[in-house]
């Protein structure tokens, strides 16, 4: 939406302030983005979270994105908060309201703004000299922080709270909600720190109210669109899902952006999974020496019957390749979360990408194929964690949950998670009694015709329960073989098993629009931008679309039908090589493939609606 600003409006120093009445028509309410530019390690995260939470508490749909470097302290970082009365919580390309706290990037930050944007900045930076077409708000942060924070060592941190106060004043945030958000952020144990920071908020607020004249059009007004919602990041949601899925063994090697998934699990485990009777742990977590060991332990534990998992990112997926092939061929359940980041190699380790799809679907040498679940919200991180364990044990194979940095590490508004409705499904596991009744068993025989054999767990108390698991050639009895017919029989059954999974993986979310010639197909975090883009296409260009939100690989039976009902289907994904499209091409006939188009974004930032809309508009000739 273009800004309807009077072109005469410029810096507050230079321009006459418009009268209250004039500004009424130009107000932009609950539909803009705020960017806070700071230095990482400066403690700005707390101030940013308080700001985001305040807007959320005022009932306005909001999202927060942390754009951070691969660095501990001292490099630039940007936090973007988007308020959207329409409920769009994907990234907004344009920044409307800047808080420039980082002298290193301030110049570039300001020069990058569109005309009419607002910029709060540290007075000595004199940013107002750079442009004439912005609303500048100089703030003497150092002068303001000194009286409220006598301890000079803490000033660097507390200073951030000053901008919360200033922004609260400029955007008409409810100060009481700021206080609540701050108390929530610090928690009851850090009441003293909360008090200190609250003093800074009040100082910033009071100073701004007295000294700054509001000239920009942006403000927040109370709504009721966040009632009952929660704020959570995808990694915590996935962790919670795994804990409620009954996961018992977690092994990992720290890697951005997946580390916080396991760290959240450890915290939830400690809280929820200590046996009340004995005080002992119903879980084991091992920080392994590398990703090979991590996934190896997952496979060992899965073989022994535990619900076991690991979480990693692209480089870890590459390292896990050999073991995943073993899990596939020896048919061992395992759950692997891939919180995708930008590759290849180290790539951009703190940026987001849907870049591991093709690798993961076919991970390891020989003929292999693996199911992938594609969560598109924190809630789906939670539910799909549970589905992943059920599928892994039901189909006795590694199952991947493909999230990404944007979903995993950013805070999202979400409905509260539903308690799992169904009991845990452990798959075909024979007890000693079963083995006795059957007079033995053959591990890899397809008794039920679904491609899945029966297994026993090591330690099953029966002389005929044991079998020998191997990654080398084996027959139905799990005996070593190099015979071509034995090999082909087993490897063909594995394919049948995979085919059979189509009916059991999460179904897509599909909406047919009878008037639409065009379908949009997307998955994961692209959904936030894609949903907004659909609205842009319709309102701005009169282009109606259907959509298909893919939620799993292998593809389910809905896919061909969706393609058939549209002249063109845009497959939207966040990678260069159209990886998901490539997987579809492996599955579909030529006529359907001919209807598929590709829209890709791979700059490492979360996908935004405008980028998609622009691309589709060009393709469609609108």
Partner 1 sequence: MSTTAAPPPKKVNRIGLDITGYKGGRTTLCAGCGHNSISERITEVFFELGVTPWRVAKFSGIGCSSKSPAYFLNMASGFNGVHGRAPAISSGALLANRDLLGIVVTGDGDTASIGIGQFVHMLRRNLPMIYVIENNGVYGLTKGQFSATADLGSKQKSGVANDQPPIDCCLLGIELGATLVARSFSGDKKQLQAILKASVAHRGLSIVDVISPCTTFNDHEGSTKSYAYMKDHDEPLHDVGFVPFYDDIAVEIGEGEVREVTLHDGSVLRLKKIGHDHDPTDRMAAIRLLHESARSGEVATGVLYVQPKNETLIDQMNLVDEPLATLPEARVRPPKEALDRIMEELR
Residues 449-508 that bind partner 1 (CB under 8 A): 456-472, 480
How far apart are CB 398 and partner 1 at their closest, in Å?
13
By CB under 8 A, name the one of 115, 146, 281, 622 that touches partner 1. 281
Q: Which is nearer to partner 1, 468 or 541 (CB)?
A: 468
What are the φ/ψ torsions at residue 174 (nearest 5 degrees)?
A: -75, 115
> Does 68 interact with partner 1 (rule: CB under 8 A)?
no
Cα end-to-end span (Å), the chain: 18
Stretch that binds partner 1, among 65-73, 98-106, 276-284, 339-347 (CB under 8 A): 276-284
State the binding string over 403-442 for partner 1 (x if CB under 8 A, else -).
-------------xx-xx--xx------------------
- What Rg value do the Cα atoms of the chain yield, rounded? 27
Report 319-378 residues binding partner 1 (CB under 8 A). 322-323, 326, 330
Q: Which is nearer to partner 1, 423 or 542 (CB)?
A: 423
Q: Which is nearer to partner 1, 32 or 467 (CB)?
A: 467
Q: Give 80's strand partners.
A: 35, 65
By CB under 8 A, name the one of 138, 234, 305, 398 that touches partner 1. 305
Contact criterion met (CB below 8 Å) for 533 and 612: yes
- Beta carbons within 8 Å of 48's beta carbon, 6+ residues apart: 36, 64, 66, 79, 81, 160
Q: Give 521's strand partners.
A: 548, 571
> Does 565 interact with partner 1 (rule: CB under 8 A)?
no
Report 213-252 residues binding partner 1 (CB under 8 A). 228-232, 240, 243-249, 251
How far apart are CB 125 and partner 1 at their closest, in Å?
37
> Does 298 interact with partner 1 (rule: CB under 8 A)?
yes
By CB under 8 A, name the one of 204, 296, 343, 371 that touches partner 1. 296
Q: Which is nearer to partner 1, 67 or 237 (CB)?
A: 237
> Does 273 interact with partner 1 (rule: CB under 8 A)?
yes
How far apart are CB 165 and partner 1 at their closest, in Å?
24
How far apart are CB 281 and partner 1 at their closest, in Å?
5
| DSSP at 7 | T
> Does 543 interact with partner 1 (rule: CB under 8 A)?
no
- The CA-based dihedral angle spanning residues 471, 475, 480, 481, taken in that order and rounded to the nearest 10 degrees: -110
- Please report, for residues 283, 285, 309, 321, the alpha-carbon distance to residue 269 in angstroms, rounded to integers and kept in the order given: 7, 9, 14, 28
Q: Which is nearer to partner 1, 480 or 541 (CB)?
A: 480
Strands 135-139 and 568-573: unpaired
Where b means 16+ CB within 10 Å and e means fewer, 5-24 reads beeebbbbeeeeebeeeebe
Q: What is the DSSP string of 373-442?
A: E---SHHHHHHHHHHHHHHHHHHTSEEEEEEEHHHHHSEEEEPPPPPP-S-----SB--HHHHHHHTS--
How far apart are CB 333 and partner 1 at their closest, in Å?
11
> What is the three-class DSSP state of 301?
helix
Q: What gap in Å lies between CA 75 and CA 68, rounded to an integer?
A: 8
How far apart are CB 73 and partner 1 at their closest, in Å?
28
Q: Which is nearer to partner 1, 303 or 562 (CB)?
A: 303
Sheet (strand 568-573) strand order: 509-511, 545-550, 518-523, 568-573, 596-600
How many Cβ atoms are within 10 Å of 462's Cβ, its own excluded?
16
> Does 283 interact with partner 1 (rule: CB under 8 A)?
yes
Q: Which is nearer to partner 1, 53 or 566 (CB)?
A: 53
> Does 169 interact with partner 1 (rule: CB under 8 A)?
no
User: How many residues line the site for partner 1 (CB under 8 A)?
Assistant: 75
By CB under 8 A, name the one of 151, 289, 485, 514 that touches partner 1. 289
Q: Give 413's strand partners.
A: 231
Q: Which is nearer to partner 1, 308 or 340 (CB)?
A: 308
> Does 60 interact with partner 1 (rule: CB under 8 A)?
no
Stretch that binds partner 1, among 138-146, 286-294, 390-398, 592-600 (CB under 8 A): 286-294
């Amino acid at each position: 939406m273009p800004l309807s600003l009077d072109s005469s409006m410029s810096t507050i120093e230079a321009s006459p302030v418009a009268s209250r009445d004039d500004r009424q028509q130009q107000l932009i309410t609950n539909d803009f983005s705020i960017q806070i530019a700071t230095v990482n390690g400066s403690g700005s995260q707390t101030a940013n979270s308080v700001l985001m939470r305040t807007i959320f508490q005022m009932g306005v749909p909001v999202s927060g994105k942390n754009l951070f470097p691969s660095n501990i302290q001292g490099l630039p970082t940007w936090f973007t908060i988007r308020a959207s009365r329409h409920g769009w919580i994907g990234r907004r390309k344009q920044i409307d309201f800047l808080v420039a706290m980082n002298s290193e990037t301030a110049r570039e930050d300001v020069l990058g703004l569109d005309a009419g944007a607002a910029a709060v900045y540290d007075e000595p930076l004199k940013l107002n000299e750079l442009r004439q077409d912005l609303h500048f708000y100089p703030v003497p942060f150092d002068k303001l922080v000194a009286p409220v924070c006598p301890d000079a060592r803490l000033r660097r941190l507390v200073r951030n709270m000053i901008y919360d106060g200033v922004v609260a004043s400029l955007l008409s945030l409810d100060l009481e909600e700021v206080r609540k958000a701050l108390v929530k952020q610090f928690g009851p144990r850090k009441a003293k720190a909360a008090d200190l920071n609250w003093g800074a908020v009040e100082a910033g607020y009071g100073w701004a109210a007295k000294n700054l004249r509001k000239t920009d059009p942006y403000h927040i007004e109370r709504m009721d669109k966040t009632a009952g919602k929660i704020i959570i990041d995808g990694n915590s949601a996935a962790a919670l899902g795994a804990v409620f899925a009954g996961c018992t063994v977690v092994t990992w090697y720290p890697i951005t952006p997946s580390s916080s998934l396991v760290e959240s699990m450890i915290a939830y485990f400690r809280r929820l999974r200590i046996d009340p009777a004995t005080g002992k742990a119903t879980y084991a977590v091992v920080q392994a020496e590398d990703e090979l060991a991590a996934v190896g332990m997952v496979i060992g534990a899965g073989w022994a019957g535990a619900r076991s998992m690991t979480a990693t990112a692209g480089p870890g997926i590459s390292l896990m390749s050999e073991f995943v092939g073993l899990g596939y061929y020896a048919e061992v359940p395992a759950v692997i979360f891939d919180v995708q980041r930008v590759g290849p190699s180290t790539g951009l380790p703190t940026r987001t990408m849907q870049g591991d799809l093709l690798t993961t679907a076919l991970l390891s040498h020989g003929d292999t194929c693996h199911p992938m679940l594609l969560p598109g919200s924190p809630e789906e991180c939670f539910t799909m964690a549970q589905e992943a364990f059920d599928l892994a044990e039901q189909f006795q194979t590694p199952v991947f949950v493909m999230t990404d940095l944007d979903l995993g590490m950013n805070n999202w508004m979400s409905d509260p998670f539903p308690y799992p409705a169904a009991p845990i499904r452990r798959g075909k596991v024979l007890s000693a009694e079963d083995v006795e009744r059957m007079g033995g068993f053959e591990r890899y025989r397809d008794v039920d015709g679904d491609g899945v054999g029966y297994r026993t767990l090591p330690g099953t108390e029966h002389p005929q329960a044991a079998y020998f698991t191997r990654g080398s050639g084996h027959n139905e009895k799990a005996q070593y073989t190099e015979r071509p017919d034995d090999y082909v029989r087993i490897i063909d059954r594995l394919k049948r098993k995979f085919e059979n999974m189509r009916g059991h993986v999460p179904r897509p979310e599909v909406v047919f629009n009878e008037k639409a010639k065009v379908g949009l197909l997307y998955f994961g975090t692209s959904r936030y931008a894609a949903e907004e883009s659909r609205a842009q296409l319709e309102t701005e260009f009169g282009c109606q679309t259907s959509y298909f939100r893919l939620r799993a690989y292998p593809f389910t039976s809905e896919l061909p039908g969706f393609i058939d009902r549209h002249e063109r289907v845009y497959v939207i994904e966040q990678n260069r090589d159209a990886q998901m499209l490539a997987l579809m091409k492996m599955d579909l006939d030529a006529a359907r493939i001919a209807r598929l188009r590709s829209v890709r974004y791979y700059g490492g930032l979360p996908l935004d609606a405008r980028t998609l809309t622009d691309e589709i508009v060009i393709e469609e000739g609108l």
